[in-house]
């Protein structure tokens, strides 16, 4: 089966160069190859996110919480525990606990996966199109500034930055996504819905790759038509897909809130 696939693959390259000439035919073949690689890489990153969920949500969370809980119980004397109970009752027991210092790293890692993946795919795009873009904005996929279209990315960025750069206190901008958070209280993993966020990031990856694939097809079409190139339905589709509007229906607006 693999040998037949490779044989057909080599034959396709020859057919394209015979039909369109060496330069254009090779360009089309490279574009098709890149689309295949994107599809494979999409499946790979989705699998990586499944593993990320398994190691953190199914293992690290419970192990970390149990470890800190058992250690703290041994640390305090009965009198100290009684005093803590009184203080917590009067002042409101904080949601944040020592275990959150570890479990919240889930969100730092999750956001870094998004950033690394975007850079990786932009690198593929540059190789294919012989360009040297540093930002996705240059190819019309403005994940950083279109905060309605890519609101889950922006939300995870704010969580990550709150953890890394704001001493675990929520940044003010994060409250627009989580109105129940307080700026004077440190974040806790219990404030969020990690399982839902894995699903939302996987959805982002699928959408992101569809945009990249569409952009690659647009560039290939331009290459084929040369000076005769004119806007097509493909261009209109891309423009519609990248409009900065909230794609979620109202019932899905707050699925990432704590469970």
| Rounded average pLDDT per 10-residue block, the chain, 259 residues | 63 82 82 83 94 96 89 64 52 73 97 96 87 95 96 98 97 97 95 97 95 89 80 91 92 87
Do 143 and 153 touch, CB atoms closer than 8 A? yes
pLDDT, residue 87, reads 46
Residue-wise pLDDT tens digits, 100-121: 999 999 999 999 999 999 999 9
Would you list the domain boundaries of the chain? 2-252
Tokens of 177: 């996504």
Distance CA 231, CA 234 (A): 8
pLDDT, residue 90, reads 47
pLDDT, residue 9, reads 66
Upper half-sphere CA count for residue 68 (Cβ side, 13 Å): 13
pLDDT, residue 91, reads 45
């Amino acid at each position: 089966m693999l040998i037949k696939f490779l044989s057909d693959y080599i034959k396709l390259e020859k057919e394209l160069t015979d039909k369109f000439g060496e330069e254009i035919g090779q360009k089309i073949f490279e574009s098709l190859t890149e689309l295949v690689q994107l599809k494979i890489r999409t499946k790979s990153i989705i699998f990586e996110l499944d593993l990320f969920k398994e190691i953190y949500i199914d293992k690290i969370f419970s192990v970390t919480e149990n470890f800190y809980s058992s250690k703290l119980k041994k640390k305090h004397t009965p009198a100290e525990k009684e005093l803590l109970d009184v203080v917590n009752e009067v002042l409101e027991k904080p949601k944040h606990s020592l275990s959150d210092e570890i479990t919240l790293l889930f969100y730092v890692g999750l956001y870094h996966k998004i950033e690394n993946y975007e850079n990786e795919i932009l690198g593929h795009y540059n190789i294919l199109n012989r360009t040297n873009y540093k930002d996705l904005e240059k190819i019309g996929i403005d994940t950083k500034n279109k905060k309605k279209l890519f609101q889950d990315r922006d939300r995870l960025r704010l969580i990550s930055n709150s953890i890394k750069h704001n001493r675990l206190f929520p940044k003010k901008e994060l409250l627009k996504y989580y109105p129940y958070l307080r700026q004077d209280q440190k974040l806790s993993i219990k404030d969020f819905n990690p399982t839902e966020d894995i699903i939302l990031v996987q959805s982002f990856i699928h959408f992101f790759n569809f945009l990249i694939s569409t952009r690659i097809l647009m560039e290939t079409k331009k290459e084929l038509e040369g000076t005769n190139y004119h806007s097509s339905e493909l261009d209109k589709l891309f423009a519609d897909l990248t409009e900065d509007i909230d794609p979620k229906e109202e019932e899905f607006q707050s699925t990432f809130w704590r469970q």
